[in-house]
C-alpha cells in the first residue's frame, strides 16, 4: 500500500485519536503512577527527597504502576513515573529533570555522547511485543511469518487475503481488506525492539529501513505511545501494528502467533517470553532478545532497563535522594518481580538478577558505593 492511499484515512484517524483523548495521541495518558502527580521539573527533581521521578518506556508502564504503588505503601516513598516513551525518558535523564529514565533499548552512541558521563542500565524485566490486528470477521488466531510481517510493513503486502498470508492460515476466510499499518511516531524502545527484529529477519528491511527507536517508516499511520497505536488498531478495520503484550491483553485485542527461527508459530506469553530471555547476560546487561534461538521462545521480545547516572552526586542532589533511587531499583529487581507475571511480563532470571545487582552496586555518591 502506498502512503498516499492512506491520506483520506488520516482525518478519520485524527478523530479516532481524539476519542482516545490525551492517552492515545499525546502519550500523556497513564503518565504518572497513582501514588503521585508531581511534575517533572528540575526543582521538584531535587527538592522533594520523598518523591522519586522517572520517565520513559510505555512498554513497562503497567508493571511500574503496580510495583511503585506497592512500594509507596510499604515505604512511604512516592514514585512519579511519566509514561512518555523511551526517547522522552532518555532526554529527561539527559536534562537531569528525572532521577531515572526507562528504555526498552540501551543508549546509542549519540545518546551516550549527549549525557557525557557513565550511566548504568539495570534490567527490570522482559516483555513481548505483540503483532495486533483488527479483522472483525476473522475469529481464528492468525499465524504470521517473519517475511509476511516485514512485507506488510514495507508495503509489499497490501491486502489481508494476500496469498502469502493465506498459505500459512489454511481454512481461514481472509477478507479483501486493505492493510493499514499503525506505528509509533515518538522515540520508542518498543520500536527499537520491533525494528531490530525486522532487521534480523529481513535483508530488505535492514538495507532499506533499518533499526532504531525512531525511524523513517515506509508507510503507515503514526501515533504517540502504546496507547495511541492501540487506539488506531482498535478503531480501524484492517489495521495492524506492534504493541506490548500487556496492552493488547488489557484491551482485548487480537494478536498473532509469530514464526520463530526454529520454524514454530509461537504465542506471546510469559513462558515464551521467558524462554527468549533465558540467555547469559553480559556484565553491562545490554543485549537483544529478538529472533531468539530458543525453539519455544517468542521472537519479538526484549528487556526494559532503568537507567541512572553512575555517580549520583549531581545537580545538587542529596545523598538521601540518591540512596532512595538505588534502593527503589534494588527492590524492583527483587521483591517487585512478583508483580510481573500477572501483568504479562517475564520476571528476571536468577542470573539476570545477579547481573542487575552487580550493576546497582557500582552506583556511587562522591565516588563511594551507595549500596554497602
Task: Map residue 327 onto helix, strand or coil.
Answer: helix
Note whether residue 226 is domain-resident: yes
Does 265 lie in the same domain as 134? yes
State the pLDDT at residue 98: 97
Structural domains in the chain (count) = 2
Task: Map residue 159 onto helix, strand or coil.
Answer: strand
State the pLDDT at residue 246: 85
Does 207 lie in the same domain as 325? no
Note whether residue 259 is domain-resident: yes
User: Look-up: residue for cell 499511520?
Assistant: 221
Task: Map residue 134 onto helix, strand or coil.
Answer: coil
State the pLDDT at residue 146: 98
Is the CA virtual torsion 31, 36, 41, 42 positive or negative? negative
Confidence of residue 36 (pLDDT cuts 50, 70, 90): very low
pTM given for the model: 0.80
Of 241, 257, 276, the one marking the end of a domain is 276
Note whether residue 286 is domain-resident: no
Q: Which residue has the higher pLDDT, 31 or 236?
A: 236
Does 31 lie in the same domain as 13? no
Task: Map residue 277 onto helix, strand or coil.
Answer: coil
Does 153 lie in the same domain as 8? yes
Is the CA virtual torsion 281, 275, 125, 127 positive or negative? positive
Whether the Cβ atoms of residue 249 and residue 265 lie closer than 8 Å to each other: no
Cell matching residue 88? 522522552
Please report which residue ranges of the chain form alpha helices under DSSP H.
7-19, 21-25, 44-47, 61-75, 86-94, 109-115, 146-154, 163-167, 189-201, 203-208, 225-235, 245-250, 270-276, 319-332, 350-361
> What's the maximum distance between 2 C-alpha atoms anywhere in the chain?
66
Note whether residue 282 is domain-resident: no
First to last CA, the chain: 58
Cell matching residue 191? 520500536
Does 223 lie in the same domain as 343? no
Does 157 lie in the same domain as 259? yes
Does 35 lie in the same domain as 179? no
Note whether residue 283 is domain-resident: no
pLDDT digits over 201-226, tens only? 999 999 999 999 899 999 999 999 88
Does 219 lie in the same domain as 120? no
Of 258, 276, 294, the one marking the end of a domain is 276
State the pLDDT at residue 228: 93
Q: Is pLDDT at 26 greater than 60 in this prediction?
A: no
CATH number for position 320: 3.40.190.10
Name, in order, each residue with C-beta under 8 angstroms of 30's C-beta and a sequence gap of 6 or more.
Answer: 23, 58, 61, 65, 83, 227
User: Which residues on neighbouring strands pair with residue 238, listed in sequence order?
Assistant: none
Of 239, 258, 276, the one marking the end of a domain is 276
CA distances from 193 to 57, 99, 200, 231, 288 (A): 12, 24, 11, 20, 8
Note whether residue 258 is domain-resident: yes
Whether the Cβ atoms of residue 180 and residue 239 lie closer than 8 Å to each other: yes
Note whether residue 255 is domain-resident: yes
| Mean pLDDT for the stretch of residues 299-307 | 96
Note whether residue 297 is domain-resident: no
Alpha-carbon distance of 182 to 276, in angstroms, equals 25
Does 135 lie in the same domain as 103? no
State the pLDDT at residue 333: 98
| Mean pLDDT for the stretch of residues 192-200 | 96
> What is the domain extent for residue 38?
25-127+303-369
Does 133 lie in the same domain as 30? no
Does 345 lie in the same domain as 244? no
Name, in order, each residue with C-beta under 8 angstroms of 315's C-beta and a sequence gap of 6 or more.
Answer: 42, 45, 46, 96
Does 10 lie in the same domain as 49? no
Task: Of 101, 96, 124, 97, give the one whose Cα is nearest residue 54.
Answer: 101
Kindly report the length of the chain: 372
Task: Of 237, 226, 228, give the one whose Cα is nearest residue 304.
Answer: 226
pLDDT digits over 41-77, tens only? 433 455 577 899 999 998 899 999 999 999 999 999 9
Whether the Cβ atoms of residue 87 and residue 188 lie closer than 8 Å to each other: yes
State the pLDDT at residue 5: 40
Task: Map residue 297 onto helix, strand or coil.
Answer: coil
Amino acid at each position: 500500500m502506498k502512503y498516499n492511499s492512506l491520506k483520506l484515512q488520516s482525518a478519520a484517524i485524527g478523530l479516532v485519536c481524539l476519542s482516545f483523548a490525551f492517552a492515545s495521541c499525546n502519550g500523556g495518558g497513564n503518565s504518572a503512577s497513582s501514588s503521585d502527580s508531581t511534575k517533572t521539573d528540575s526543582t521538584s527533581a531535587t527538592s522533594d527527597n520523598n518523591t522519586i521521578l522517572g520517565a520513559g518506556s510505555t512498554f513497562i508502564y503497567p508493571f511500574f504502576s503496580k510495583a511503585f504503588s506497592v512500594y509507596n505503601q510499604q515505604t512511604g516513598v512516592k514514585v512519579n513515573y511519566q509514561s512518555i516513551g523511551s526517547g522522552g525518558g532518555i532526554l529527561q535523564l539527559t536534562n537531569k529533570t528525572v532521577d531515572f529514565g526507562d528504555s526498552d533499548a540501551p543508549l546509542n552512541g549519540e545518546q551516550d555522547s549527549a549525557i557525557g558521563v557513565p550511566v548504568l542500565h539495570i534490567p527490570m524485566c522482559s516483555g513481548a511485543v505483540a503483532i495486533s490486528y483488527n479483522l472483525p470477521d476473522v475469529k481464528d488466531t492468525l499465524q504470521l511469518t517473519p517475511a509476511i510481517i516485514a512485507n506488510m510493513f514495507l508495503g509489499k503486502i497490501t491486502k489481508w487475503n494476500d496469498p502469502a498470508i493465506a498459505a500459512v492460515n489454511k481454512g481461514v476466510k481472509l477478507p479483501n481488506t486493505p492493510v493499514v499499518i499503525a506505528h509509533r511516531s515518538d522515540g520508542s524502545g518498543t520500536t527499537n525492539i520491533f525494528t531490530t527484529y525486522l532487521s534480523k529477519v529481513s535483508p530488505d528491511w535492514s538495507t532499506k529501513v533499518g533499526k532504531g527507536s525512531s525511524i523513517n517508516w515506509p508507510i503507515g499511520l503514526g501515533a504517540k505511545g502504546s496507547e495511541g497505536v492501540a487506539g488506531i488498531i482498535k478503531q480501524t478495520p484492517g489495521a495492524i501494528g506492534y504493541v506490548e503484550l500487556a496492552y493488547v491483553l488489557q484491551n482485548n485485542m487480537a494478536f498473532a502467533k509469530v514464526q520463530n527461527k526454529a520454524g514454530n508459530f509461537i504465542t506471546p506469553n510469559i513462558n515464551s517470553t521467558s524462554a527468549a530471555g533465558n540467555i547469559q547476560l553480559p556484565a553491562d546487561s545490554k543485549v537483544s532478545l529478538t529472533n531468539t534461538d530458543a525453539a519455544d521462545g517468542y521472537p519479538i521480545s526484549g528487556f526494559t532497563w532503568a537507567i541512572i547516572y553512575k555517580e549520583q552526586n549531581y545537580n545538587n542532589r542529596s545523598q538521601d535522594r540518591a540512596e532512595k533511587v538505588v534502593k527503589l531499583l534494588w527492590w524492583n529487581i527483587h521483591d517487585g518481580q512478583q508483580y510481573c507475571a500477572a501483568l504479562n511480563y517475564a520476571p528476571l532470571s536468577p542470573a539476570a538478577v545477579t547481573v542487575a545487582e552487580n550493576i546497582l552496586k557500582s552506583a556511587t555518591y562522591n565516588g563511594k558505593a551507595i549500596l554497602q
